[in-house]
Amino acid sequence: MTSPNRVLSLLLLSVLLLLTSCWNPFRPRMEDHSDTTIQNRTPQEVLENLELSYKERNINIYQELLSEDFRFELISSEVNQIGVDVNNDGLRDDWWGYDQEILYTKNLFTTGSSDGSMPPPDELQLHLQIPPESSWEIDPQVGHEDWVIIPCMFDLKLSYYASNSMITASGVARFYLKPMNNRWYLAIWRDESNL
């Protein structure tokens, strides 16, 4: 005969083995503690998130990067080609604001050109060569003493598989970034590209 203590011990040992059989002490359970909010804690993080927004074609990320008074500034050779009449004076301007930028970028990411002449690209790549902080500039404009200007070499590629074509732009973009409420925002994107 077996003693009741021995049966109880075997039963407890069996339950313990059953409970621990799925647990490996050398491989603890993985938990995801990632934060999906865009924090923009530094100017560099803003530019890294800019690349991410293009890579993922995520307009929500893109919107989180721009200040409410954002301006996209064109080089003079592009004004007649892609400039818009921002102030309704009958002339194309060399800049546009936040609402126009969001519309254009949303079209680029999802629907293609505003006039319907180009579909959205099958592949979209934006690569920024973010220089070290020692190469950043302080904005000399009065009232912008806490802004930084980061000149970045960039490459933008839009690939269209059906037509076996590609549109590229490269050059320098000057990003004017400003701090606000413990975050950084893109205030001006000055394009100095070569199409």
Reported pTM: 0.75
Do residues 187 and 71 lie in contact, with contact meaning Cβ atoms separated by under 8 Å?
yes
What's the token pair of residue 21?
């059989």
> What is the pLDDT at residue 50?
96
| Digit-coded pLDDT (tens) for 165-190 | 999 989 999 999 999 999 999 999 99
According to DSSP, the residues that pair with 160 across neighbouring strands are 165
Q: Does domain 43-194 have CATH number 3.10.450.50?
A: yes
In a 3-state reduction of DSSP, which class is residue 44? helix
CA 79/CA 108 separation, integer angstroms: 19
What's the token pair of residue 35?
């934060």
According to DSSP, the residues that pair with 66 across neighbouring strands are 186
What is the arithmetic mean of pLDDT over 107-118?
82
Q: What is the domain partition of the chain in residue ranges?
A: 43-194
